[in-house]
């Protein structure tokens, strides 16, 4: 749980029942206690372990920067911000910005940036034109591209099979694939869908696809483009 305190409660520290009260760079908050992974609470998946390792490695690289480089990231962080669940703009720390941008590059096996990039908007592909899915596992989409394929990487998000009456996919997409931006204007992601959800698309259900492009020189990522389709029975 994330809470925004008012005039009655203005500070909180420690654990009360299953709620942890804390204060950090963003202000005071309360969140549900999350016990460490154990046999009684389940074990992390291979993807979770991999993601945790990438974040840990990226954070460790912060300590290897020179003081001048860390100062540059702290200064740049004042021009970056994120919006929380309350709609408030929240400033990032220099280290948070370093990790946010560079963990994406490290995940892809690329060199990370020692100095921060300029916060310019990143373009996505020009359009998502067609999205087709069938219950035999076929999932393919066609797009129009105007970007230099050598400088961009696909971030591909998908929902599981949903009710056809759902019109918004805000809470459902999962990152199922990362791939180099191709020049063909075509991608087949059926294998990635099955690997992530361990299921084939369900006939008559709706699937949403979201595409973002990652700039491989900066780690900056574009706003998403979204398209949906009804799964065909073949």
SS (H, E, C) the chain: CCCCCCCCCCCCCEEECCEEEEEECCEEEEEECCCCCECCCECCCHHHHHHHHHHHHHHHHHCCCCHHHHHHHHHHHCCCEEECCCCCEEECCHHHHHHHHHHHHHHCCCCCCCCCCCCCCCCCCCEEEEEEEECCCCEEEEEECCCCHHHEEEEEEECCCECCCCCCCCCCCEEEEEEECCCCCEEECHHHHHHHHCCCCCCCCEEEEEEEEEECCCCCECCCEEEEEECECC
**Domain locations along the chain:** 8-39, 46-107, 127-230
Give the pLDDT band of residue 38 (cuts 50, 70, 90). very low
Q: Is the overall model pTM greater than 0.85, yes or no?
A: no
Residue 155 CB coordination number (10 Å): 20
pLDDT attached to residue 24: 66
The predicted model gives 50-54 an average pLDDT of 85
pLDDT, averaged across the chain: 84
Neighbour tally for 88: CB within 10 Å: 12
CATH architecture of 127-230: Sandwich (2.60)
pLDDT digit string, tens, across residues 192-218:
999 999 999 999 999 999 999 999 889
Higher-pLDDT residue of 222, 170:
222
Least confident among 46-50, 97-101, 125-129: 46-50
Which candidate, 222, 223, 220, places its Cα nearest to that of 119? 220
187 strand-pairing partners = 141
């Amino acid at each position: 749980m994330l809470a925004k305190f008012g005039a009655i409660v203005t500070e909180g520290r420690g654990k009360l029942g299953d709620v942890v009260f804390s204060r950090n760079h963003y202000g005071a908050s309360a969140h549900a206690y999350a016990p460490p992974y154990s046999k009684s609470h389940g074990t992390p998946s291979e993807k979770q372990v991999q993601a945790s390792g990438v974040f840990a490695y990226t954070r460790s690289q912060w300590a290897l920067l020179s003081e001048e480089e860390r100062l540059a990231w702290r200064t740049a962080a004042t021009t970056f911000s994120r919006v929380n669940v309350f709609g408030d703009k929240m400033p990032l720390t220099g280290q948070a910005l370093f990790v946010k941008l560079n963990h994406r590059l490290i995940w892809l096996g690329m060199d990370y940036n020692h100095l921060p990039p300029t916060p310019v908007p990143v373009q996505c592909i020009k359009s998502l034109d067609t999205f087709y899915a069938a219950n035999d596992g076929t999932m393919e989409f066609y797009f129009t591209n105007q970007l230099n394929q050598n400088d961009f990487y696909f971030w591909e998000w998908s929902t599981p099979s949903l009710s056809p009456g759902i019109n918004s996919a805000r809470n459902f997409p999962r990152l199922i694939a990362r791939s180099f931006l191709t020049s063909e204007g075509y991608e087949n992601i059926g294998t990635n869908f099955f690997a992530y959800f361990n299921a084939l698309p369900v006939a008559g259900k709706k699937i949403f696809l979201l595409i973002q492009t990652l700039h491989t020189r900066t780690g900056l990522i574009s706003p998403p483009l979204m398209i949906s389709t009804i799964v065909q029975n073949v």
